[in-house]
């Protein structure tokens, strides 16, 4: 049995997703939240195995919440479940520690499979585009290249801190800075396109 929490600001999405999950044997929705604050509280209180998380929240964003969830003593598996999985989101999801990325337009069987894969400890993230990774490397400070490479490879923030012999809080700040630079770079690219 896989226990699932849903974090999405849209009431219809939360209700529909909860009903959909109930139709699939072995998947059990245990709660829903609308944003980052109540999502973090829900996960802390109920301890789900998997969190289905919208990228755009009313009081924050799913990427930052993913990082916070992954820093919990017993972190859940996190799937970004979003209507716009394009651009640099695959790289940003990896940096944020997400375990999967599923388009809301995908067939429900794809969602169920992604939940099962991440619940077993696997990854349901699409492959990284080498060109996007190269562009990201050029958009960040040179001292963050090792950080980018490790996070893109799926290394946890805690393991990055241990490997680079850095304070975990410092790594967290560097990850937030890295994500901010990549978001700004993506915004410039979208404007120039």
Mapping DSSP onto H, E and C, the string for 125-145 reads CCCCCHHHHHHHHHHCCHHHH
Say if residue 186's pLDDT is above 70: no
* DSSP class per residue in 159-186: HHHHHHT--HHHHHHHHHHHHHHHHHHH
pLDDT band at 81 (very low <50, low <70, confident <90, very high): very high
Task: For 52-71, write each residue's pLDDT tens digit.
Answer: 999 999 898 899 999 999 98
Least confident of 13-22, 23-32, 75-84, 167-176: 167-176
pLDDT tens-digit readout, 83-105: 877 667 899 999 999 999 999 99
- The pLDDT value given to residue 187: 63
pLDDT tens digits, residue range 120-173?
A: 999 999 988 888 888 888 888 888 898 899 988 888 888 888 998 888 888 888
Supply the pTM of this predicted model: 0.89
Mean pLDDT of the chain, nearest integer: 90
């Amino acid at each position: 049995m896989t226990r699932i929490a849903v974090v999405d600001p849209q009431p219809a999405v939360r209700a529909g997703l909860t009903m959909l999950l109930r139709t699939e044997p072995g998947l059990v929705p245990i709660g829903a939240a609308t944003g980052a604050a109540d999502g973090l509280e829900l996960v802390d209180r109920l301890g789900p195995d998997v969190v289905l998380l919208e990228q755009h929240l009313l009081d924050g964003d799913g990427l930052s919440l993913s990082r916070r969830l992954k820093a919990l003593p017993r972190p859940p598996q996190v799937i970004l479940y979003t209507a716009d999985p394009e651009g640099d989101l695959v790289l940003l999801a990896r940096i944020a520690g997400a375990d999967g990325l599923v388009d809301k337009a995908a067939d429900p069987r794809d969602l169920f499979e992604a939940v099962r894969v991440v619940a077993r400890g696997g990854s349901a993230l699409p492959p990284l585009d080498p060109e996007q990774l190269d562009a990201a490397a050029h958009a960040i400070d040179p001292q963050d290249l090792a950080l980018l490479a490790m996070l893109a490879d799926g290394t946890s923030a805690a393991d990055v801190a241990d490997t680079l012999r850095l304070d975990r809080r410092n790594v967290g700040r560097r990850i937030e800075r890295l994500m901010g630079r990549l978001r700004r770079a993506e915004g410039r690219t979208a404007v120039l396109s």
